[in-house]
A and B are shown apart, each in its own frame.
Chain A
């Protein structure tokens, strides 16, 4: 009996051990423990982020070396603290605080002691650094901007957060990633791939050689340089014109869909979001909930398009055969919807398609619009046809451009109105405002520009895009190099374009002609409302303008939207005209126009709703508009 006792104890011990070992090594084991292994450190070799150039190979974004003073607390030896603090430009108190912080983090590992030295400080320190044991300077790369414009288009980079880490296993804490704009859209291309070295460590965190002799190590892959479609000169010029104005400008090259400039006002210097002041500046910009500089109006603002939309209604009416270019309508300084009269500013009288466009006659387009619906038995059918035509211009849907934000705008469908009014409880008279681009239609500035490009091309467009070249090679992405056809036949465009040209020749924009350049455009004046203390209050109209030039062989199509800029030919018309001239001729002949745009701001207008007092809107005399402080360097 006692013989068996000891044997049993031995066997029980054996079984217990094997049980515990199988718990540890079979059930608790997981293969990705290698990643958590404290014995293997990954050292990364970061490639330089790709540069960004404009369409003419002018540098927009590069990299700048930045220098951090690092400290390994354990290796710090006695030093002349005062002299060292003097060199770094810090106080002794801060010196002690930073050193304590670093020691708390780890006495053996490097911590950032003073981040991002200026180049001058670096030059001064570099010589003397070897006197201070335990301190050294580490170089890293920061974004450098060769332009003070296009902040929202180019975007910015910042440290990855928890969400990025969870979403993409590539990143590790402390790395940078594109947050907005091109930096975000083409993050993978610009970033490259970091190289990894696996280092075997001991428990004191000291390196003791390569893990598995480095067979898992990888070399970094360089980030590639990009050319964006922007024209740096035009972009910078546009931003100067936008001084003190809120709104968006989008200029496209109709033959390619390339975005020549994309401006949102107010804007900011992209360099604000780099360096030591980054987070302070970011908060200031992000939390400005009134001017909203980080909200890209050229992609996100969805105003009613206003009168430029009339050109599309004319095209649809022509395509549907309900009007011809010679169809005439009498304008009674307005038109009747049932018994209710709606106004018109065209001056009244007989209007045909041509004068309807260049005088922007509401009555003419209300008639054309009604006729589209009358062609079909039911309003529903008419609505479907109209919606299909409008959407073929890229309206009411995401355009599919290569920037990370956007809005759909709105082309209302029959379902939309069924929801509002009830099934079959509405007719064309309910939606007549759409005929003049008011009512329920809405479009972002880039959609307006794209629509203009489609007209300039006489019936097709290329999806707007910002990427021109990767690593010096032109892109061949089918979405961007293949044309999209509209549903309107080519022959219907000429009369409409003639009308748009006559806007400059005889119509609402005859003061904005560019010498020696044929130009077609359309003004827009968009009524808009806001809520002040939950009361609906009308504000000064938005100023909208679309144009393209030259008429015969369009090189540029542009849409300008200026919040509360009053009638179309005022701010928006001026800016469109100046932008086109700048792009086509490289210089401005009409310096008076230019001076006016550079000087006048809408600050007074924007202050009105916040004044707490009654205010007048649509004030005709614009000499009252505020004048911007003189620019440092007006030459471009």
Chain B
């Protein structure tokens, strides 16, 4: 009886978006790893065969996820969290290193990436903590605790090194904002990013001059009765200038050359053509090739299995982080816009679902899911189409990768189960 009612109550629209993304994703993985040797699509020796296997396993896992009691997830969230943190710690001892990052456990038939599981666990744990009756997010102490939950996995993942995945955990702070953290925190963070970028582009002196000008204009235009908050304003100015100075320092002394190069490329900082060419040949190669591949697709694309740059493997890591380039080359503008729209619709749908939850845990978990999916989608496509610096992060439900496939499915379907169960709340 329970099974039937779950199937009736789950949000089939989200499931539809999920299935569409997974299918389109796999088709493109198939194309980007296709060789004309006539291997069957079920040949698990090929990458697309493996991915098909993971998709099937993920869909099978959906059955279990939906069959479990909704309360199970809330009750065991702390356990999941502990297990995932231990598994992250275990990487330091038992981890397998693939292309420079110690992020995997070797399970023989399959490499498991615990960071993917940690995303699910952290989202659950954060929702659990914030929805606790004793937590008051207005309290600084509780804010701090909430951030600690996010920080622990991030700090464990950074030394792998996998800064991209670590970044994902910070996105969970959206949840905290949703639940009452003052918005000006976000404002300050955005302001800091703005200063960071503009300092790199124009230098501290211009930042100081422009800020001073803004304040001057503000003072001249103010109403006479308005009392000028001299001290806070001066402090803010000084802090900003100091921050700006520190940006230069950090950029020059803390960042490694490859990081600097990524920013140089992104913000077009390098003016020396010889050096620029050097950067484009090395670090910019991926970006250049991915942009070119997408561009060459035009409006209608070259057609399935007809992408010449895809076939020639001109874009490195095309089946994983750069899978979107295959969409761009073979399906053109129509294909890329379809994918962007699917992600947008899925995310908006999930917001709608999260907002209709009566249970605080479900709602907060929902926001966790949205944050994680959003930041992956934003950074990945932003990087591939050349509006963000290069960060190694997969496109969820789309890129090649077993752990990613499995845990993104888990992430999403736990929420769909929670949503399906919302009318049973009342315990």
Q: How far is the CB of A456 from chain B (nearest CB, A)?
A: 65
How far apart are the CA atoms of A31 and B297 in the complex, in Å? 9
Q: B-facing mask of A186-215, CB < 8 A → 1, else 0? A: 000000000000001111000011011000
Q: How far is the CB of B190 from chain A (nearest CB, A)?
A: 11
Chain A residues with CB below 8 A from B35, complex form: 208
Taking CB atoms, residues of chain B closer than 8 Å to A7 are 348, 351
Are the C-beta atoms of B312 and A200 separated by less than 8 Å?
A: yes
Taking the closest CB of chain B, its distance from the CB of A371, in whole angstroms, is 78
Q: Which single residue of chain A is at the shortest CB-CB distance from B35?
A: A208
Cβ-defined contact, B341 with A20, below 8 A = no
Docked pose: A567 CA to B110 CA in angstroms: 101
Give chain A nearest CB distance to B177 CB in angstroms.
7
Complex Cα gap A31–B300 (Å): 12
Task: Assess whether B130 is interfacial by the CB under 8 Å rule.
Answer: no
Q: Does A162 contact B (CB under 8 A)?
A: no
Q: Is B337 an interface residue (CB 8 A)?
A: yes
Q: Determine if A24 and B294 form an interchain contact, defined as CB atoms under 8 angstroms apart.
A: yes
Q: Is the CB of A25 within 8 A of B348?
A: no
For the complex, what is the distance from the CA of A91 to the CA of B160, rounded to whole Å?
A: 54
| Interface SS of chain B | helix
Q: Tell me the smallest distance from the CB of A108 to a CB of chain B, in Å.
A: 14
Chain B residue with the shortest CB-CB distance to A21: B336
Quick check: is A87 within 8 A (CB to CB) of the other chain? Answer: no
CB within 8 Å for A203 and B312 given contacts A14-B344, A18-B340: yes
Q: How far is the CB of A485 from chain B (nearest CB, A)?
A: 61
A615 in the interface (beta carbon within 8 A): no
* CB within 8 Å of B: which A4-19 residues: 5-7, 9-11, 13-14, 16-18
- Interface positions, chain B 372-394, Cβ under 8 Å from A, are 374, 377-378, 381-382, 385-387
Q: Which of A16, A21, A33, A39 has the most CB of B within 10 A?
A: A21
Residues of chain B contacted by A34 (CB below 8 angstroms): 308
Report the bound CA distance from A13 to B35 in whole Å: 35
Query: Are B385 and A17 touching (Cβ within 8 A)?
Result: yes
Alpha-carbon distance A211/B382, docked complex (angstroms): 31
Q: Give chain A nearest CB distance to B82 CB in angstroms.
A: 29
One of B295, B299, B311 near A200 (C-beta < 8 A)? B311
Query: What is the 8 Å Cβ interface bit string for chain B, positions 275-314, against chain A (1 contact, 0 not)?
Result: 0000000000000010100111111000000101101111
In the assembled complex, the Cα of A21 lies from the Cα of B340 at a distance in Å of 10
Q: Which residue of A lies closest to B339 (CB)?
A: A17
> Which residue of chain A is the closest to B306 with respect to CB atoms?
A212
* Shortest distance from the beta carbon of A357 to any chain B beta carbon, whole Å: 76
- Decide yes or no whether B355 CB sits under 8 A from chain A: yes
CB-CB under 8 A from B340, the residues of chain A are: 14, 17-18, 21
Convert B324-341 into 0s and 1s, putting 1 for each residue whose CB lies closer than 8 angstroms to a CB of A.
Answer: 000010001100110011
Residue of A nearest to B295 (CB): A24
Does B174 count as interface, using CB distance less than 8 angstroms?
yes
Cross-chain contact A3 with B355 (CB below 8 angstroms):
yes
Residue of B with least CB distance to A203: B314
- Asked if A37 is at the interface of the complex by the 8 Å CB criterion, the answer is yes
- Using CB atoms, name the residue of chain A closest to B186: A5
Contact yes or no, A25 B336, CB < 8 A: yes
- A616 adjacent to chain B (CB < 8 Å): no
**Residue B178 is within 8 A (CB to CB) of chain A in the complex:** yes
The answer to whether the Cβ of A129 comes within 8 Å of any Cβ in the partner chain is: no
> Bound state CA distance, A614 and B151, in angstroms?
104
Query: Is the CB of B347 closer than 8 A to any CB of chain A?
Result: yes
Query: Does B309 contact A31, Cβ atoms closer than 8 Å?
Result: no
Residue of B nearest to A206 (CB): B312
Complex Cα gap A31–B291 (Å):
16
Contact of B332 among A25, A33, A40, A212 (CB under 8 A): A25
Hey, which chain A residues are within 8 Å of B386, CB to CB? 20, 24
What 1/0 mask marks residues of chain B from 174 to 207 whose CB sits below 8 Å from any chain A CB? 1001100001000000000000000000000000
Partner of B344, one of A11, A31, A201: A11
Q: Provided the pairs A203-B313, A212-B306 are in contact, do residues A2 and B183 lie with their beta carbons within 8 angstroms?
A: yes
Could you say which residues of chain B place their CB within 8 Å of the CB of A201? 312
Contact at B298–A29, with CB atoms within 8 Å?
yes
Contacting residue for A38 out of B183, B312, B370, B377, CB 8 A: B312
Among B298, B312, B328, B337, the one with the most A-chain Cβ atoms within 10 Å of its Cβ is: B312
Contact B178 A2 (CB under 8 A): yes
Mask: chain A, 444-476; 1 = CB below 8 Å from B; 0 = not: 000000000000000000000000000000000
Q: Are A25 and B314 in contact (CB under 8 A)?
A: no
Task: Give the interface size class of chain A.
Answer: 35 or more
B256 close to A (CB within 8 Å):
no
Q: Which chain B residues lie closer than 8 Å to A17 at the CB level?
A: 336, 340, 381-382, 385
B298 to A202, Cβ gap below 8 A? no
B36 within 8 A of A: yes
- Beyond A10-B347, A10-B348, A26-B299, is A20–B385 a contact (Cβ under 8 Å)? yes
Nearest to A31 among chain B residues (CB) is B298
Whether A25 pairs with B294 at a CB distance below 8 angstroms is yes
Instruction: Give the chain A neighbours of B178 by CB distance below 8 A.
Output: 2, 6
User: Is A10 touching B306 in the complex (CB atoms < 8 A)?
Assistant: no
Q: Which of A9, A29, A209 contacts B296 (CB 8 A)?
A: A29
Given contacts A3-B355, A18-B337, are A40 and B308 in contact (CB under 8 A)? yes
CA distance A365 to B297 in the complex (A): 79
On whether the beta carbons of B308 and A10 are closer than 8 Å, the reply is: no
Interchain CB contact under 8 A, A20 and B387: yes
A28 interface residue per 8 A CB criterion: yes
Interface residues of B in 341-375 (CB under 8 A from A): 341, 343-344, 347-348, 351, 355, 367, 370, 374
Q: Is A106 an interface residue (CB 8 A)?
A: no
Do the beta carbons of A2 and B177 come within 8 Å of each other? yes
Instruction: Give A102-116 as 1s and 0s: 1 = Cβ < 8 Å from B's Cβ atoms.
Output: 000000000000000
What is the CB-to-nearest-CB distance from A52 to chain B, in angstroms, rounded to a whole number? 41
For the complex, what is the distance from the CA of A157 to the CA of B183, rounded to whole Å? Answer: 77
Find chain B residues with CB under 8 A from A6 CB. Answer: 174, 178, 351, 367, 370, 374
B195 CB to nearest chain A CB (Å): 20
Does B295 contact A25, Cβ atoms closer than 8 Å? Answer: yes
**Residues 28-46 of chain A, each 1 if its beta carbon lies under 8 Å from chain B, else 0:** 1101011001111000000
Q: A19's closest neighbor in chain B, by CB?
A: B387
Cβ of A22 within 8 Å of any chain B Cβ, yes or no, is yes
Q: Are A21 and B378 in contact (CB under 8 A)?
A: no
| B377 nearest in chain A by CB position | A13
Residue contact A202 to B374, C-beta cutoff 8 Å: no
Nearest to A37 among chain B residues (CB) is: B308
Measured between C-beta atoms, what is the minimum distance from B43 to chain A in Å?
A: 19
Chain A residues lying within 8 Å of B291, measured Cβ to Cβ, are: 24
Shortest CB distance B64–A (Å) = 30
Contacts of B312 in A (CB 8 A): 38-39, 200-203, 208
Q: How far is the CA of A611 from the CA of B295 in the complex (A)?
A: 70
Q: How far is the CA of A212 from the CA of B302 in the complex (A)?
A: 11
A212 to B336, CA, bound (A): 23
A77 to chain B, nearest CB (A): 27
CA distance A338 to B351 in the complex (A): 113
Inter-subunit contact B344/A22 (CB<8 Å): no
A29 partner residues in chain B, CB cutoff 8 A: 295-299
A9 to B373, CA, bound (A): 13
In the bound complex, CA of A29 to CA of B370 (Å): 34
> What are 16 sample pairs from A and B whose C-beta atoms fall under 8 A apart?
A2-B177, A6-B370, A6-B374, A13-B344, A13-B377, A20-B386, A21-B336, A21-B340, A25-B295, A29-B295, A33-B295, A38-B309, A40-B308, A203-B289, A211-B308, A212-B306
Q: Which residues of B does A touch, CB under 8 Å?
A: 35-36, 174, 177-178, 183, 289, 291, 294-299, 306, 308-309, 311-314, 316, 328, 332-333, 336-337, 340-341, 343-344, 347-348, 351, 355, 367, 370, 374, 377-378, 381-382, 385-387
Which 8 A-B pairs rank lowest in CB-CB distance, beginning with the nearest? A39-B312, A39-B308, A14-B344, A25-B333, A29-B298, A202-B312, A24-B295, A203-B314
A residues with a Cβ closer than 8 A to B are 2-3, 5-7, 9-11, 13-14, 16-18, 20-22, 24-26, 28-29, 31, 33-34, 37-40, 200-203, 208-209, 211-212
Apart from the given pairs A29-B299, A202-B313, 5 other A-B contacts in the complex at a CB distance below 8 Å? A2-B183, A9-B374, A10-B351, A39-B312, A208-B312
